[in-house]
Structure 1
Amino acid sequence: MTRRLPDFEAWAIFAKVAERGSFSDAARELRMSNPTVSKAIGRLEAQLGFALLSRTSRRLSLTEAGRQSLDRAARLLSEGEALEDEAADQLRVPRGLVRISAPLSFGTAYLGPALPEFLKTYPEITLDLALSDRRVDLVAEGFDFALRIAALEDSSLLSRTLCSVRLMLVGAPAYFDANGRPTHPAELRRHVALAYTGSAQKGVWRFGHPTFGEETIEPPVRVWADNADLLNPVLLAGQGLALQPEFLVWRQIRDGSLEVAMPDWTARPLALHLVMPPSPLRPQRVQLLIDYFARALANPPWA
């Protein structure tokens, strides 16, 4: 037989009445009405089958059973008050652990530099960052939120888009000097591709043109990698073309060590999303980090 939940409120009220020696004083301190306090004690005594307090018109005293019960009831009241004080203190001084998942290359390059200011502002918050291009299960694996670079599919997860991320077909000048510069996706069949395996369709590149529509191509791949950052040294060495996220190559494009091929043909753009479990309720420490990342990453340097 399942036991019912103890009447914690009534026990706490009993402890306060015993402490104050008066129903009315206890009611005033607890911000309750006198009848509410009286009914709670009556309810508790009815459940126990014996009296906890002896009442006369002039005096309130503990019965023997009341004296035996008071110590535990007082501890219950004290623990409850401490718990509420601690929860309120969390709002004043946010503390605790926040677990985040983020892509490896992006996290290393852009989350790391953003962290010191947050850690200085909130010294009681602890962070656990898991950097991987693997798509984690937020709920099953206990993450508070994740940063994802993708075109999100429909799901029960909540999401917040922070900024756009273009995919750019790039190669080194030395590669183009040796192999020519493609002007149409069909020409990529004659080129050397370096491919990221974490895309929705491995090895499939899709491009769109404002006049000629869409083209899909599966170029011959020389190097596969589950981390796009690994492909940059091969690109810079002039050994192939790759469809890279702008945040990984914008500096190299700016300094000329990489060049954009087929600028009139664009790959489907992605976006940086902040993805959260379905419940809209989350601890203050988590919301603070979400809002901080949203501000820090809203205007990225590659834009």
Structure 2
Amino acid sequence: MDRLTEMEAFAMVVDQGGFTDAARKMGISKSAVSKHVSALEARLGARLLNRTTRRVSPTEIGLAYYDRARRVLTDAGEADALVTSMQTAPSGHLRLSVATDFGVALLAPILAEFLLDYPDITVTMVLNNRSVELISEGFDMAIRVGDLEDSSLRARKLTETTRRMIASPGYLQRHGRPMKIDDLTDHRLLYHSTQAHGNVWRLLSPSGEPRQVRAPGFLTVNDGHSLLKAAVSGLGIAHLPEFLFAEAMRAGLVEEVLPDLPVETLGIHAIYPAGRFTQPKVRAFIDFLVRRFLEKGPIGN
């Protein structure tokens, strides 16, 4: 007899508390279940069940075997599901939590291409800058820019960008160009209000020493595009990821401030639940993003 079937019959008898209910659950006869369990006990040379006229219960050895058998059966079921999922065309509803600036600047323009490639998938994209609880809040995955918090989630790097300080030529002509980090306290700084550490810029000095800049914010807003527009308008100095200001810099609308400072690199990751296998719709979307950003290289270049 098949070893896995014997194991399944035994585990089902323990789960259901008897042969009759186990047979009903498995869709086979009671005698077939009994034969599977008897064959298992004979092969192992041990009695796994205590049988009385009123009830069936596992022996001490049977209980220990049940724990291991249940794990094997679970793994086997997941292995079957994995093969099925890998042969199934991705479909269903995909709910994404995406960092706002990244979503608007880089994801929204290519989303149509993904949906055309996978017509059986629908997408809801929620733009926010907080670390959502994927499972409890009903998200399939999230895309985050910067350092990842320690968690049990899986993460796959999509690409990377840099963060730099920028200002318009007009602002630098009117207020002067800062020559060192300490000079920033005399300037009009534009802050992103969703920074976890408040209105503080964390920079590295030319020697690599961590520095913090605290200065009154001339403008604080929770949107990077608004900060970029403010910088282009000459309102102050902004500290932004390169994917937001790259085009404005190429057009001469902004210039880098303190270009001699070490460049801060930001990773851009897809995060998703750490199950035994990834849902086809999630895997398809992540693979799509990896391909697209591999073609582009580091964002901003």
TM-score (ref. length: structure 1): 0.71
Q: Which of 265, 275, 280 in structure 2 is aligned with 1:279?
A: 275
SS of the aligned residue for 2:231 comes to helix
Separation (CA, whole Å) in 2 of partners of 1:301 and 1:221:
28
- Alpha-carbon shift at residue 191 of structure 1 (Å): 0.2
SS of the aligned residue for 2:27 comes to helix
| Structure 2 gap segments, 5+ residues each | 1-14, 37-53, 55-79
Separation (CA, whole Å) in 2 of partners of 1:270 and 1:296:
18
Partner of 1:191: 187
Partner of 1:94: 90
2:257 maps to 1:261: yes
Separation (CA, whole Å) in 1 of partners of 2:122 and 2:27:
34
User: Partner letter of residue 12 of structure 1?
Assistant: G
Separation (CA, whole Å) in 1 of partners of 2:85 and 2:179:
62
Over aligned residues, Cα RMSD in angstroms? 3.1
Deviates more, 1:175-184 or 1:108-117: 108-117
Partner of 2:109: 113
Partner of 2:48: none
- Alpha-carbon shift at residue 213 of structure 1 (Å): 2.9
TM-score (ref. length: structure 2): 0.71
2:32 maps to 1:39: yes
Change (3 A) 1:7 1:97: farther
Q: Which of 141, 144, 162 in structure 2 is aligned with 1:166?
A: 162
Partner of 1:201: 197
2:133 maps to 1:137: yes
Partner of 1:32: none
User: Partner letter of residue 300 of structure 2?
Assistant: W
Aligned pairs (5 A) from 1:1-303: 4=16, 6-7=21-22, 12-13=27-28, 39-40=32-33, 88=84, 91-211=87-207, 213-266=209-262, 268-298=264-294, 299-303=297-301
CA offsets 1:210-232 (integer angstroms, 9 cap, x no match): 43633221122111111111112
Separation (CA, whole Å) in 1 of partners of 2:237 and 2:280:
45
- Alpha-carbon shift at residue 189 of structure 1 (Å): 0.7
User: Partner letter of residue 266 of structure 1?
Assistant: P
- Alpha-carbon shift at residue 252 of structure 1 (Å): 0.6
Separation (CA, whole Å) in 2 of partners of 1:189 and 1:173:
19
Give the number of aligned pairs: 243
SS of the aligned residue for 1:269 comes to strand
Query: Are the counterparts in 1 of residues 202 and 211 from structure 2 also a CA contact under 8 Å?
Result: yes
User: Partner letter of residue 190 of structure 2?
Assistant: L
Query: Are the counterparts in 2 of residues 10 and 41 from structure 1 also a CA contact under 8 Å?
Result: no
Q: Look at both structures and tell me which one has the larger radius of gyration over its CA atoms.
A: 1
Partner of 2:69: none
Separation (CA, whole Å) in 2 of partners of 1:8 and 1:254:
72
Query: Are the counterparts in 2 of residues 10 and 40 from structure 1 also a CA contact under 8 Å?
Result: no
Query: Are the counterparts in 2 of residues 195 and 242 from structure 1 also a CA contact under 8 Å?
Result: yes
SS of the aligned residue for 1:140 comes to coil
Separation (CA, whole Å) in 1 of partners of 2:253 and 2:23:
70
SS of the aligned residue for 1:266 comes to coil
Deviates more, 1:263-272 or 1:92-101: 263-272
CA offsets 1:17-58 (integer angstroms, 9 cap, x no match): xxxxxxxxxxxxxxxxxxxx9614989xxxxx9xxxxxxxxx
Change (3 A) 1:230 1:131: same
Query: Are the counterparts in 2 of residues 169 and 242 from structure 1 also a CA contact under 8 Å?
Result: yes
- Alpha-carbon shift at residue 243 of structure 1 (Å): 0.4
